[in-house]
Structure 1
């Protein structure tokens, strides 16, 4: 189910779970992260790369994006840069994950406006804590 945003806030729309877009070229990781989010009550959608995610967000705006760093085509940082170039998406919370500890680039993550940078394998508790913090104004992970 695709939910177009922004929706007017009503009793019906306030009860909808936040939509989180999971962007990862690895189907196993993408499916695992979607499953973790769905078990926690979120509505997870999936894209297999930055290009597909940008096309998807041309129609729908998620509440948060969870993206991999290393992907063919647009890597995670290039994807976030293109996302941030769109005025309606500049404040969209983004969490990035990576499978290689040396790829953790905290200074670059801060400059890109990421809400969190998480090493794979992603632990469910760490993911859900980062998601909750990103979706709650004024809260940090």
Structure 2
């Protein structure tokens, strides 16, 4: 993969979830970086803005929605597409995610092909087999 290959930043405190998402996105043709919480993600994104955020909600230090609100307040990060991928299903979680700046809300577990397709579209990766 080259430096022009879209970069996704996975933000999740669970190593197994980050690994699953990394494998899925790399197979979809993306470069991947990881962060264990929103604070680490904000620092990484400000240093090298990605093409896509893949964000969990519940994390220590800074949760996913706080991260998205902070990212949306930064001019360099404001327009980067963001997918919330969470096991949260309480009333208001979807609306709260969109209000924080998410472009898409997916509930865990997410099938790899579904995640790969949505992430590819949002990050600007050409879909395999798509006609022009």
Taking only aligned residues, the RMSD between alpha carbons, in angstroms, comes to 1.9
The runs of at least 4 consecutive aligned structure 1 residues that moved more than 6 Å come to: none
1:87-112 per-position Cα deviation (integer Å, ceiling 9, x unaligned)? 11111111011123337722222222
Distance change (3 Å), C-alpha of 1:109 and 1:48? same
Of 61-70 and 123-132, more deviation after overlay is shown by 123-132
- Partner secondary structure for residue 92 of structure 1: coil
Distance change (3 Å), C-alpha of 1:74 and 1:103? farther
Is the Cα–Cα contact under 8 Å of residues 19 and 43 in structure 1 kept in the other structure?
Answer: yes
Q: Match for residue 72 of structure 1?
A: 60
Structure 2: runs of 5+ lacking an equivalent: 125-132
Tell me the TM-score normalised to structure 1 length: 0.79
The alpha-carbon deviation at position 126 of structure 1 amounts to: 1.6
1:108 aligns with 2:96: yes
1:33 to 5, 13, 21: 21
